Amino acid sequence: MDIITILKEDYQRFPVNQTYSIYAEDVYFQDPLNKFSGIERYKQMIHFMQTWFLNIKMDLHDIQKIEEKIKTEWTLSWNTPVPWKPRISISGWSELGLNAEGLIVSHIDYWHCSRLDVIKQHFFLANSSRQQ
């Protein structure tokens, strides 16, 4: 199975049963909140999301492989485990760098919104929809 097919399947079932064998041991990960290296730390981050976030959904809008890079466009959504359980949504893209063996050596996520926008969704989204 090729890496594009594996990634499509991983996105569909995210964060459950991810295919970690497509990542290099020293994979570098970065998003607006985290920056680290190592597959074990990557697994811990996914496990944290699976444990603490509710109803996680990762919608893959596009995936392209161009030479030694893969770019994905996605929307990640979940309910935060606070009493009012707001539905949070982040759209963004990932740039995955591949090594000579075809393993992912870097995974960098970019968001189409700011960290403040994400925080605001916890408090203002429900109110703004009621006012309309």
Tokens read off for 97 = 């760098």
Domains of the chain: 3-131 (3.10.450.50)
CA dihedral over 24, 20, 62, 37, signed as positive or negative: negative
Note the pLDDT of residue 46: 96
Residue 29 token pair: 């990960």
Reported as type and span, the H/E element at residue 52 is helix 39-52
Per-residue pLDDT of the chain (132 residues; tens, 9 = 90+): 899 999 999 999 999 999 999 999 999 999 999 999 999 999 999 999 999 999 999 999 999 999 999 999 999 999 999 999 999 999 999 999 999 999 999 999 999 999 999 999 998 754 444 443
SS3 state at 2: coil
Contact at 8 Å (CB) between 74 and 114?
Answer: no
Selection from 46, 34, 12, 41 nearest residue 108 by Cα: 34
